[in-house]
Amino acid sequence: MYTAVVYFKKRSATVVAYFPTLNGKPLVLRAEKEFAEGLMTNGTVRKRWMGDRAASVKLGAEAVVALLRRAGCGSVDIYAVDKYLRRAYKKVKDALRRAAEEKAGELAERYVRAWLKSVNFELPSDDEDAAAVNRVLPKAVVWAYGKYSIQLPPWC
């Protein structure tokens, strides 16, 4: 589980998410107040302070996917987050399908299957799911050195 601190203003909120990042700094995101309240409903509020204008939230798996889709995966350690999301796949299945549908459309199911079959984001050369996704999204699943490699996981 990951933790986020949410600071509310009148119409907006600042979310500071403590994900494993490449630079060691937390992920900071400015968002609408409704988005931050949605994160709090998908997580568990640990503590509130400043007259309920700030809260520490233990993020659920679905909130992690929503936050990563919103903020992007540029500075996040995708191997650590990927390991967490694979363990929590049953909780996150619907959110992953929605994210994959936005990218791949009708190939969303194959995109998620290819991601689940991958080991360290690599797939064998004869994988049919990876080949189908590669034809539609060549930047998401790349063919290189005789094997397929997932560059953009469906949750990213």
Pick from 47, 69, 50, 59: nearest CA to 16: 59
Q: Is the pLDDT of residue 154 over 90?
A: no
Question: From CA 107, how far away is CA 113, in angstroms rounded?
Answer: 10
% the chain with pLDDT above 90: 24
Q: Is the pLDDT of residue 4 over 90?
A: yes
List domains and CATH numbers for the chain.
1-72 (3.30.70), 88-156 (no CATH)
Q: Is the pLDDT of residue 13 over 80?
A: yes
- For the chain, the maximum distance between any two Cα atoms, rounded to a whole number of angstroms, is 58
21-60 per-position pLDDT tens digit? 888 889 899 999 999 998 888 888 999 998 889 999 998 8
Q: Is the pLDDT of residue 130 over 80?
A: yes
Pick from 107, 119, 110, 121: nearest CA to 153: 121
- Amino acid letter at 75? S
| pLDDT band with cut points at 50, 70 and 90 for residue 1 | confident
Joined tokens for residue 75: 């500075």
Burial class (CB in 10 A: 0-12, 13-18, 19+), 111: buried
DSSP 127: -
Q: Please give the model's pTM, rounded to 2 decimal places.
A: 0.77
Pick from 40, 86, 82, 92: nearest CA to 61: 92
% the chain with pLDDT above 70: 100
pLDDT at residue number 99: 82
pLDDT at residue number 51: 85
pLDDT at residue number 20: 86
pLDDT at residue number 14: 94
